[in-house]
Amino acid sequence: MQQTIKNSLEGLGICVSDLHYQLSPGELVKQTLTLQQGSLNDSGALCVHTGKFTGRSPKDRFIVMDAATRSAVDWGEVNIPFDAEAFNSLYEKVCRYLSRRKEVWVRDSFACADKRYRFNIRAITETPWANLFCHHLFLRPGHKALPFAKTDWLIMHAPGFIASPAEDGTRQENFTIIHFTRQIILIGGTAYTGEIKKAIFSVLNFVLPYRYNVLSMHCAANEGGQGDVALFFGLSGTGKTTLSADPGRRLIGDDEHGWAEGAIFNFEGGCYAKCINLSAEKEPQIYNAIRSGALLENVAFYAGTDKVNFEDGSITENTRAAYPIECIANAKHPAAGGNPKNIFFLTCDAFGVLPPISKLTKGQAMLHYISGYTAKIAGTEIGVTEPQPVFSACFGKVFLPLHPVVYAELLGGLLEKHREINVWLINTGWTGGGYGKGVRISLQYTRSMINAAMKEELKNAAYYPHMHFGIAIPEHVPGVPDAILNPRRTWQDRNAYDKAANHLAALFINNFERYSQKAGPETKAAVPRVLQTGSL
What is the number of other CB atoms lying within 10 angstroms of the CB of residue 140? Answer: 17
Catalytic residue among 241, 316, 392, 431: 241
Q: Would you state the torsion angle of the CA atoms of residues 276, 279, 285, 286, taken in this order, to the nearest 10 degrees?
A: 20
Catalytic residue among 320, 376, 466, 488: 320
- Using a pLDDT cut of 70, give the percent of the chain over it: 97
pLDDT value of position 475: 97
- 101 catalytic per annotation: no
Q: Say how many residues make up the chain.
A: 536
- Annotated active-site residue 312? The verdict is no
Instruction: Give residue-wise pLDDT tens across range 111-164.
Output: 999 999 999 999 999 999 999 999 999 999 999 999 998 999 999 999 999 999
Active site residue 392: no
CA 107 to CA 202: how far, in whole Å? 20
Instruction: Name the catalytic one among 39, 236, 361, 442.
Output: 236
Q: Cβ distance 158 to 97 under 8 Å?
A: yes
Band (385; pLDDT cuts 50, 70, 90): low
Contact 528, 509 (CB under 8 A): yes
Tell me if residue 320 is catalytic: yes
510 vs 500: CA distance, rounded Å: 15
Interatomic CA distance for residues 518 and 405, integer angstroms: 7
pLDDT at 383 over 60: no
Active site residue 93: no
pLDDT value at residue 242: 82
Strand partners of residue 464 = 473
Q: Grade residue 534 by pLDDT with cuts at 50, 70 and 90.
A: low
Is residue 255 part of the annotated active site? The answer reads yes
Measured distance CA(431)–CA(460) in Å, rounded? 25
* CB contact at 8 A, 252 and 271: no
Q: Report the predicted TM-score, pTM, of the whole model to 2 decimal places.
A: 0.94
Q: What span, in angstroms and rounded, lies between the C-alpha atoms of 27 and 412?
A: 47
Q: Classify the phi-psi angles of 404: left when phi > 0, otherwise alpha if psi is within -120 to 50, otherwise beta.
A: alpha
List 107, 136, 198, 466, catalytic entry = 198
Mapped onto helix, strand or coil, the DSSP state of residue 66 is: coil
Phi, psi of 401 (to 5 degrees): -70, -30
Q: Distance between CA 206 and CA 133 in Å, rounded?
A: 23
Name the catalytic one among 218, 332, 403, 488. Answer: 218
User: Out of 8, 54, 56, 257, which one is annotated catalytic?
Assistant: 56
Q: How far apart are CA 71 and CA 360, in angstroms?
A: 33
Maximum pairwise Cα distance, the chain: 79
Indicate if the alpha-carbon torsion angle 8, 10, 13, 16 is positive or negative.
positive
| Peptide bond just before 147 cis, omega within 30 deg | yes
Instruction: Say whether 218 is catalytic.
Output: yes
Q: Rounded to an integer, what distance in angstroms lies between the CA atom of residue 67 and that of residue 81?
A: 12
pLDDT digits (tens, 9 = 90+) for 334-357: 999 999 999 999 999 999 999 999
Gap between the Cα atoms of 65 and 58, Å rounded: 17
For residue range 401-432, list pLDDT tens digits in order: 999 999 999 999 999 999 999 999 999 999 99
DSSP 21-69: ES--HHHHHHHHHHTTS-EE-TTS-EEE--TT-SS--GGGEEEE-STTT
| Catalytic member of 168, 255, 349, 498 | 255
Active-site residue flag, 319: no
With 70 as the cut, is the pLDDT of residue 379 above it? Answer: no
* Span 450-470, average pLDDT: 97
- What is the strand order of the sheet 61-64 is part of? 18-21, 103-111, 119-125, 153-158, 184-188, 175-179, 61-64, 80-82
Q: Which of 240, 250, 341, 368 is catalytic?
A: 240
